[in-house]
RNA sequence: GGUCCCAUCGACUAAUGGUUAGGUCACCACCCUUUCAAGGUGGCGGUACGGGUUCGAAUCCCGUUGGGACUACCA
């Protein structure tokens, strides 16, 4: 009984990690978290973070994906040290530009006797699997009965190859023994060799599969720690066997818990947005997204929720990464984004103005930056994401729409008289500040034994048209005397127009 | 089906053999209040189950149950 034991090596050499997505569409939020953890680990240890594009399946390639991945990473503030666009000493960083390398390495394995040619067609493999399933056995490539260099013999193999017969190269997995390794997050994992399939390494089109390309590149690029999603855990024994087949020392492995849908299945479209692009479009702050996903599966243990990227780098260790999957809970993200919104209103209003201005322009609205900034400051505590302001604060940029049910609940027979009095009061108020307005209107309310609520609500209806918003005095002060009086007038016209003279 | 992984409030998590099992989100109530928020205070709510080991178990071991991933000439 042979046992192959792989001990993870924590070399004194500097850390090199990589994020290796496939360009099959927009960057997934789960992919961003994987990239983030790699980045945090690299920065924490003063190492390097590498982006490698794994585009060995040409049929799944989606144009524009690489740009989206790069843009999304940059947006999140996790810039690679080495990548197809940043360059670096271990390039090229795109697998389709390294195909010759994989062929050479597959050849090397052939020579070492740890890989072999197979000539089975997809149909034959299908039938094999069906037979096995019918017999109640786990589907497995059966090296002893299928068409490969062992069953066909050297001569026939050479002949088929010379004749240009489509051939794949498979890994020769030992029949006995076990693969044992230590995952930094999960501890010791043991898998019997008999449960490891003779994985195809080189496809008949000459391109490598993920397994070959991944192992070859990780070795050639000097990757010290493979930090990837849990979905790769079952194929790790294959990779370890590959390292051994090459005679290479494997990197350390850390398999991250999955990001989950509310039903605890692997996070997918269907349940909502999964592309980083979607979250950018919805106006989430990169700081909030990074903070939020960092805490999905990892926690520095302090009773604290808000961390800057620098603070995450400082605190990050793989040892504290959880084993169990984490549900992506949108409501907590919303809360966190609101926290950052409050923070940025204090620290970086110009940034918020720059973000909001184009959204207002889409509606055909414009205003001076100073005014936009004042509106953001006035209303930001009522929203979670800045783009919500376009609807929430529409009356600050254009004439109000009067909400019918709000109108019906507020407007009474004597409202007109009250409104006339308020109008006169507002006109006389000088300076036109929230405090001055408050003082005058409060005094008026006292004199006439009116609850202030009555005044505030009536003005809210007349000035904004909707029942929710910031404090009315602040709102009126910001709108200005002229605009306020104009709106009272507008409202009166509207009321006159809508009542079909019944009295 | 097979292999592997996982299991603390509804969600994210802390507690790494000794705590009344802590914090955050969500939810509820109250305070504040011209609306809605924000903020403050309080509340609801959990160690999946069963066996061990131990003076003592959320924590270690075994089993059960449940969930997930993987099982392609995809990654």
DSSP string, A241-260: HHHHHHTPPP-EEEEEPPEE
Dihedral angle over CA of A300, A304, A306, A309, nearest 10: -20
Task: Please give the positions of A annotated as active site.
Answer: 269
Same domain, yes or no, for A56 and A147?
no
Quick check: A19 CB within 7 A of strand B? no
Same domain, yes or no, for A341 and A248?
yes
* Token couple for A173: 């997995």
A28 CA to B13 C1', in Å? 23
Best CA proximity match to A326, nearest among A304, A302, A299: A299
A468 CA to B30 C1', in Å? 22
Whole-angstrom distance, CA of residue A463 vs CA of residue A437: 14
Whether residue A79 is contained in a domain is answered as: yes
Whole-angstrom distance, CA of residue A396 vs CA of residue A407: 19
Same domain, yes or no, for A119 and A176?
yes
DSSP string, A239-305: HHHHHHHHTPPP-EEEEEPPEE-TTSSBP-TTSS--BHHHHHHTT--HHHHHHHHHTSSB--SSS--
Same domain, yes or no, for A225 and A337?
yes
Same domain, yes or no, for A231 and A342?
yes
Query: ipTM of the assembly?
Result: 0.95
| CATH code, A231 | 3.40.50.620
The residue that minimises its CA distance to C1' of B70 is A234
Whole-angstrom distance, CA of residue A470 vs CA of residue A461: 13
Torsion sign across C-alpha atoms A309, A314, A315, A318: positive
Q: What is the DSSP-derived secondary structure letter of residue A382?
A: G
**Boundary of a domain, candidates A181, A202, A223:** A202
| CATH code, A370 | 1.10.8
Whether residue A207 is contained in a domain is answered as: no
**Boundary of a domain, candidates A174, A202, A230:** A202
DSSP string, A349-362: HHHHHHHHHHHHHH
pLDDT at A302: 80
pLDDT at A40: 98
Whole-angstrom distance, CA of residue A454 vs CA of residue A446: 12
Quick check: A440 CB within 7 A of strand B? no
A158 CA to B71 C1', in Å? 32
Nucleotide closest to A24 measured between CA and C1': B75
A349 CA to B23 C1', in Å? 31
pLDDT at A136: 82
Best CA proximity match to A338, nearest among A384, A374, A289, A273: A384
Whether residue A446 is contained in a domain is answered as: yes
Quick check: A331 CB within 7 A of strand B? yes
Residues 163-202 of A with CB under 7 A from strand B: 166, 168, 186-187, 189-192, 195, 197, 200
Same domain, yes or no, for A191 and A125?
yes
A304 CA to B20 C1', in Å? 23
Nucleotides of B under 7 A from a protein CB: 1-8, 10-16, 22-26, 34-39, 67-75
| H or E element at residue A494 | helix A481-498
Same domain, yes or no, for A379 and A451?
no
| CATH code, A430 | 1.10.10.350
Q: What does the pLDDT profile of chain A (503 residues) look like in tens digits?
A: 334 444 433 444 799 999 999 999 999 999 999 999 999 999 999 999 999 999 999 899 999 999 999 999 999 999 999 999 999 999 899 999 999 999 999 999 999 999 999 999 999 999 999 999 888 888 899 999 999 999 999 999 999 999 999 999 999 999 999 999 999 999 999 999 999 999 999 999 999 999 999 999 999 999 999 999 999 999 999 999 999 999 999 999 999 999 999 999 999 988 889 999 999 999 999 999 999 999 999 999 888 999 999 999 999 999 999 999 999 999 999 999 999 999 999 999 999 999 999 999 999 999 999 999 999 999 999 999 999 999 999 999 999 999 999 999 999 988 999 999 999 999 999 899 999 999 999 999 999 999 999 999 999 999 999 999 999 999 999 999 999 999 999 999 999 887 654 43
Residue A11 CB neighbour total at 10 angstroms: 10
Same domain, yes or no, for A122 and A236?
no
Torsion sign across C-alpha atoms A264, A267, A269, A274: positive
Same domain, yes or no, for A142 and A62?
no
Quick check: A342 CB within 7 A of strand B? yes
Quick check: A465 CB within 7 A of strand B? no
Quick check: A129 CB within 7 A of strand B? yes
Same domain, yes or no, for A229 and A179?
no
Whole-angstrom distance, CA of residue A432 vs CA of residue A408: 30
Whole-angstrom distance, CA of residue A295 vs CA of residue A306: 10
Quick check: A454 CB within 7 A of strand B? no
Quick check: A438 CB within 7 A of strand B? yes
DSSP string, A189-239: EEEEGGGS---EEE-TTSPBPHHHHHHHHHHHTT--EEEEEGGGGGGHHHH
E-strand spans in A323-450? Answer: 326-327
The residue that minimises its CA distance to C1' of B69 is A231
Quick check: A283 CB within 7 A of strand B? no
Q: What's the pTM? A: 0.93
A472 CA to B29 C1', in Å? 27
**Boundary of a domain, candidates A359, A377, A396:** A396
Whether residue A94 is contained in a domain is answered as: no
Quick check: A98 CB within 7 A of strand B? no
Same domain, yes or no, for A297 and A336?
yes
Quick check: A54 CB within 7 A of strand B? yes
The residues facing A53 across adjacent strands are A94
Whether residue A104 is contained in a domain is answered as: yes
A270 CA to B48 C1', in Å? 28
Nucleotide closest to A195 measured between CA and C1': B3
| CATH code, A183 | 3.90.800.10
Tally of domains in chain A: 4
A368 CA to B70 C1', in Å? 56
Whether residue A221 is contained in a domain is answered as: yes
Whether residue A90 is contained in a domain is answered as: no
Q: Provide the domain limits for residue A66.
A: 1-83+215-347
Whole-angstrom distance, CA of residue A475 vs CA of residue A466: 13
Instruction: Check: CB of residue A210 under 8 Å from CB of residue A232.
Output: no
pLDDT at A303: 86
Whether residue A88 is contained in a domain is answered as: no
Nucleotide closest to A474 measured between CA and C1': B34
Same domain, yes or no, for A343 and A224?
yes
């Amino acid at each position: 009984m042979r046992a192959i034991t792989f001990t993870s090596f924590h070399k004194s050499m500097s850390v090199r990690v990589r994020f290796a997505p496939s360009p099959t569409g927009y960057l997934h939020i789960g992919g961003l978290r994987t990239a983030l953890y790699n980045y945090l680990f690299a920065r924490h240890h003063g190492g390097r973070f590498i982006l490698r594009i794994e585009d060995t399946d040409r049929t799944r390639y989606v144009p524009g994906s690489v740009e989206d991945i790069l843009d999304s990473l940059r947006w999140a503030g996790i810039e690679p040290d080495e990548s197809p666009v940043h360059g670096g000493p271990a390039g090229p960083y795109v697998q389709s530009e390294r195909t010759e390398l994989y062929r050479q390495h597959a050849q090397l394995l052939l020579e070492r006797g740890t890989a072999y040619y197979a000539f089975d067609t997809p149909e034959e493999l299908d039938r094999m699997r069906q037979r096995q399933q019918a017999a109640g056995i786990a589907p497995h490539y059966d090296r002893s009965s299928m068409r490969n260099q062992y069953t066909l013999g050297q001569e026939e193999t050479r002949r088929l190859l010379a004749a240009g017969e489509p051939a794949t190269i498979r890994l020769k997995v030992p029949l006995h023994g076990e693969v044992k390794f230590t995952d930094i997050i999960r501890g010791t994992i043991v898998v019997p060799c008999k449960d490891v399939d003779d994985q195809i390494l080189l496809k008949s089109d000459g391109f490598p599969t993920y397994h070959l390309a991944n192992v070859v590149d990780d070795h050639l690029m000097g990757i010290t720690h493979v930090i990837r999603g849990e979905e790769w855990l079952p194929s790790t024994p294959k990779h370890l066997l590959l390292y051994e087949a090459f005679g290479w020392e494997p990197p350390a492995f850390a398999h991250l818990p999955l990001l989950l849908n509310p039903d605890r299945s692997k996070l997918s479209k269907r349940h909502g947005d999964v592309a980083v692009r979607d979250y950018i479009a919805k106006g989430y702050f990169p700081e909030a997204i990074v903070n939020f996903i960092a805490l999905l599966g990892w926690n520095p243990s302090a009773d604290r929720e808000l961390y800057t990227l620098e603070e995450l780098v400082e605190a990050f260790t793989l040892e504290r990464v959880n084993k169990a999957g984490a549900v992506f809970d949108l409501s907590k993200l919303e809360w966190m984004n609101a926290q950052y919104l409050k923070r940025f209103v204090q620290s970086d209003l110009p940034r918020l103005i720059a973000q909001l201005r184009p959204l207002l322009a889409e509606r055909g609205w414009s205003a001076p930056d100073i005014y936009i900034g004042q509106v953001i400051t006035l209303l930001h505590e009522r929203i979670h994401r800045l783009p919500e302001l376009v609807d929430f604060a529409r009356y600050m940029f254009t004439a109000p729409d009067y909400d019918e049910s709000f109108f019906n609940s507020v407007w009474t027979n004597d409202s007109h008289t009250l409104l006339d009095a308020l109008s006169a009061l507002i006109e006389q108020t000088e300076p036109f500040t929230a405090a001055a307005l408050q003082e005058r209107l409060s005094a008026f309310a006292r004199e006439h034994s009116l609850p202030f609520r009555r005044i505030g609500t009536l003005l809210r209806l007349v000035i904004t048209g909707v029942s929710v918003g910031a404090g009315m005095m602040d709102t009126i002060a910001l709108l200005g005397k002229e605009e306020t009086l104009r709106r009272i007038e507008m409202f009166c016209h509207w009321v006159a127009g809508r009542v079909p003279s019944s009295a």
